[in-house]
Amino acid sequence: MPMKLIIVSNRLPLTVTQKNDKYKITPSAGGLTTGLHSLETKMEKHWVGWPGIHFENDIAQIRIESQFRKHQFHPVYLTPDLVENYYEGYSNSIIWPSSHYFFSYVQHKDEYWEAYKEVNQLFCEKTLEIFEPGDIIWVQDYQLMLLPGLLRKVIPNACIGYFHHIPFPSYELFRCLPERSEILKGLLGADLIAFHTHSYMRHFISAIYRILKLDCVFDEIYVENRVINVDAFPMGINYQQFHDAIQEVSIKRKADKFRENFGAGKLILSVDRLDYTKGILTRLQSFDKLLADCPQYREKVSLAMIVSPSRDSVERYDHLKEEIDKAVGSINGQYSTLGWRPVYYFYRSFKFEELAALYNIADIGLVTSYRDGMNLVAKEYVASKQGKQGVLILSEMAGAAIELHDAIIVNPNNINELKEAFVEALEMPESLQAKNLEKMQAVIAKQNVGKWAKDFVQELFLSLIHI
Ligand code: F6P
């Protein structure tokens, strides 16, 4: 039997939704599943995760599970109560806002922590069903921070890695979590704990040192008879897939059609999950400011905003959707003409083919996150460019800004700075656009998702040598 790589993440790469009696399987939103799903590895890849549905119909469950088996997906089912308290609650109403410095959005309830522990245990049991000695277990992200510790108790010699895809906040914020010690101890079940950037890694080590008072030497933590390694690996994308997409006749045709539909003006494109961390309202305010302060750009530029529905059962997200609707309506109401629409707003997910075509034609790619672990959209936009045109405006608060210095880097809280960035991008000579794209493409092509995973697994093996 070949050695297995068991990826464990909150979501499977495919999510099942139900409408009346019909079930629909769609790719899950977000960089984690998109990136890891396109990972090719020589190991037998298995995936443990939540399929996003709680079946009440056995026949449908059998049919969909047979699809999952084909992909070596192992579903963990969550009751509506667990979804409410573990996913919407502890994960997305406590850890998510704390980690993105939205401290006032944090909502505490006892049921949240109880459900978080219970679901981490369910994931542990499912992983143990398929685990065999010699396999590698790779746990992903903040929804499963207790899992490495739970697994370690049952399989003390297993090779367990953990990757944190969101920012790890500074100690001053992390210390406010009532369950801070349990969470850190859970993570320490892993042999290697990794982050996208060195600053998240430093924040984590500082929390370990101050909260658990453990010995840390540089990037090693000493716990009883174990040494745990901590490192930074910026996650990448499947570069070639995005870069070559436009060679496909069907995608090229789509790109030409989109270009025609958007008209002759320049196109700014943003693609996000609906999330208050993405700076969507500030982006709209700064675009509004551009049209107000610089009338010469009216009818010359449009903003296309793709916002994928996400976490809409969490109150904050639902409220944000209403505000976006209002802001888009207000800009379009004020500036639209018979032949020009300032903002095209799509509240739905786009297929890869459509995204690749849009990335390719967009003159400007825009990422305005207030905080973002990495932001793979920035990399997808740059990778999809063939030729000389394309400018990336990128928030300095996104992990991707560490690698993509040749973007126009902005502070997303500064509406004036964003407006100036639009002007700079709109006026940038083609020769400079081409030079910047070339430099960024070289970085993204090298640090692709395959290399990211290979580097992580290699270091995971090396970290075992301490034992
Ligand atoms: O990157 C953070 C993350 O929460 C991932 O874990 C997840 O794949 C993605 O965002 C989408 O989030 P959700 O599964 O809550 O829609």
pLDDT for 31 equals 67
Q: Give the residue, out of 310, 313, 314, 316, with the most ligand 1 atoms within 8 A of its beta carbon, to mutate for a pocket test.
A: 310
pLDDT for 95 equals 98
Per-residue pLDDT reduced to its tens digit, 385-398: 998 899 999 999 99
Per-residue pLDDT reduced to its tens digit, 345-356: 999 999 999 999
Question: Does the pLDDT value for residue 2 go beyond 80?
Answer: no
The band of 423, judged by pLDDT with boundaries at 50, 70 and 90, is very high
Pick 183 or 25 by higher pLDDT.
Answer: 183
pLDDT for 61 equals 86
- Residue 383 near residue 357 (C-beta atoms within 8 A): no
pLDDT for 108 equals 95
DSSP notation for 216-229: EETTEEEETTEEEE
| pTM for this model (two decimals) | 0.94
Pairing of strands 14-19, 136-140: unpaired
Which residues does 312 contact at the CB level (< 8 Å), separation at least 6?
A: 274, 318, 321
- Residue with CA closest to ligand 1 atom 14: 11
Nearest ligand 1 atom, CA 310? 16
- Expressed in angstroms and rounded, the spacing between residue 238 Cα and the centre of ligand 1 is 18
Nearest to 418 by CA among 298, 280, 263, 308: 280
Average pLDDT over the chain, rounded to an integer:
94
Torsion sign over Cα 171, 177, 183, 187:
negative
- Residue with CA closest to ligand 1 atom 10: 30
pLDDT for 154 equals 98
- Residue with CA closest to ligand 1 atom 11: 30
Helices (H) and strands (E) in the chain, counts: 18, 17
Nearest to 358 by CA among 442, 261, 239, 429: 261
Q: Give the residue, out of 28, 196, 317, 371, with the most ligand 1 atoms within 8 A of its beta carbon, to mutate for a pocket test.
A: 28
- Residue with CA closest to ligand 1 atom 9: 30
> Which of 37-51, 150-164, 219-233 bottoms out in mean pLDDT, i.e. has the lowest?
37-51
Residue appearing with tokens 């909150």: 10
- Residue with CA closest to ligand 1 atom 16: 310
Nearest ligand 1 atom, CA 143? 6
Nearest ligand 1 atom, CA 9? 6
Per-residue pLDDT reduced to its tens digit, 317-350: 888 999 999 999 999 999 999 999 999 999 999 9
10 Å CB burial of residue 211 (0-12, 13-18, 19+) is middle
The band of 160, judged by pLDDT with boundaries at 50, 70 and 90, is very high
In 28-109, alpha helices (H):
31-37, 58-71, 80-82, 96-99
Read off the pLDDT of each residue in 447-451 and give the average, rounded to a whole number.
Answer: 92
Question: Does the pLDDT value for residue 463 go beyond 90?
Answer: no
Q: How far apart are CA 24 and CA 259, in angstroms?
A: 30
- Expressed in angstroms and rounded, the spacing between residue 30 Cα and the centre of ligand 1 is 5
Which protein residues are within 6 Å of ligand 1, measured from CB?
Answer: 10-11, 29-33, 141, 165-166, 273, 310-311, 373
The band of 16, judged by pLDDT with boundaries at 50, 70 and 90, is confident
pLDDT for 1 equals 56
Nearest to 135 by CA among 266, 44, 222, 199: 44
- Residue with CA closest to ligand 1 atom 15: 311
Pairing of strands 343-346, 364-367: unpaired
pLDDT for 462 equals 86
Nearest to 189 by CA among 221, 232, 233: 221
- Expressed in angstroms and rounded, the spacing between residue 27 Cα and the centre of ligand 1 is 12
Per-residue pLDDT reduced to its tens digit, 242-292: 999 999 999 999 999 999 999 989 999 999 999 999 999 999 999 999 999
pLDDT for 51 equals 92
Pick 40 or 187 by higher pLDDT.
Answer: 187
pLDDT for 60 equals 84
- Expressed in angstroms and rounded, the spacing between residue 32 Cα and the centre of ligand 1 is 7
Nearest ligand 1 atom, CA 87? 15
Residue appearing with tokens 């460019």: 385
The band of 240, judged by pLDDT with boundaries at 50, 70 and 90, is very high
Per-residue pLDDT reduced to its tens digit, 30-82: 667 777 876 777 889 999 999 998 887 778 888 888 989 988 999 999 999 99
Per-residue pLDDT reduced to its tens digit, 206-217: 999 999 999 899
pLDDT for 136 equals 95
Q: For residue 247, give the DSSP letter.
A: G
